[in-house]
């Protein structure tokens, strides 16, 4: 065995509180990578309808979440459909309620301010109640603290807390972060990930680089029969 299948719906002993998220996504405008999971005691399988808000096809924005991300309960993504026009005195959306209120409405007063796709990298951890605003990019390795509201892009391996969300610190020095992004262990075949979990879970970048180069975490060369996988 080389870990669970990413196609399992409930990977935590079959318990309904945790889902591999890609298996409950139906919209083509949402993409989720393998092994990314969402935990919710009551509504895990309803993530798409409950946690991705104001996501309308006519707006055209996409939500993309990478591999091996961990989303705690009530992690919420606010999409561009939540925007109101802010170019005049009132922000009230008159145009959506009555035909006669649509007359003279200029869609550009909203569309010109849309921020595009929301993108989450790989191996990102979201704390309980984290909220991501439209058009934000959260890079790989980041940690989003509980109840943080993320309104701007998050660099790789940053820890973000608060409302508005701010980068409290980077998890590693810049050189280590560059090396981690080059290694990109989340793109390895599952057999290789499983074989090198001690290096992935560890904190020795040299050991992880050796694994990436085709050595196991004990620095012994893998055999030539394709085991580097």
Exactly one of 55, 84, 113, 219 is catalytic; name it: 84
In 3D, which of 168, 137, 171, 141 has the Cα closest to residue 154?
A: 137
User: Which ranges of 8-161 would DSSP assign to H, the alpha helix?
Assistant: 47-50, 99-102, 108-111
Gap between the Cα atoms of 102 and 3, Å rounded: 54
Gap between the Cα atoms of 44 and 195, Å rounded: 30
Structure-token pair, residue 207: 């050991």
In 3D, which of 63, 65, 90, 96 has the Cα closest to residue 78?
A: 63
- The answer to whether 35 touches 68, Cβ cutoff 8 Å, is yes
10 is catalytic: no
Active site residues: 84
């Amino acid at each position: 065995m080389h870990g669970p299948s990413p196609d399992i719906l409930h990977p935590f002993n079959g318990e309904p509180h945790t889902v591999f998220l890609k298996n409950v996504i139906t919209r083509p405008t949402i993409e989720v990578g393998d092994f990314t999971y969402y935990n919710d005691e009551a509504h895990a399988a309803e993530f798409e309808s409950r946690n991705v808000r104001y996501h309308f096809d006519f707006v055209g924005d996409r939500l993309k979440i990478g591999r091996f991300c961990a989303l705690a309960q009530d992690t919420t993504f606010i999409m561009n459909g939540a925007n109101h026009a802010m170019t005049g005195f009132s922000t009230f959306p008159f145009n959506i309620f009555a035909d006669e209120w649509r007359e003279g409405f200029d869609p550009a007063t909203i569309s010109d301010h849309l921020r595009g796709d929301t993108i989450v990298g790989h191996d990102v951890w979201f704390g309980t109640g984290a909220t991501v605003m439209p058009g934000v990019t959260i890079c790989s390795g980041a940690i989003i603290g509980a109840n943080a509201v993320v309104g701007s892009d998050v660099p790789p391996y940053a820890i973000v807390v608060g409302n508005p969300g701010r980068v409290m610190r980077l998890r590693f020095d810049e050189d280590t972060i560059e090396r981690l992004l080059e290694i990109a262990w989340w793109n390895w075949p599952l057999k290789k990930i499983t074989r090198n979990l001690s290096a992935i879970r560890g904190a020795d970048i040299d050991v992880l680089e050796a694994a990436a180069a085709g050595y196991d975490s004990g620095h012994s060369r893998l055999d030539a029969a394709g085991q580097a996988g």
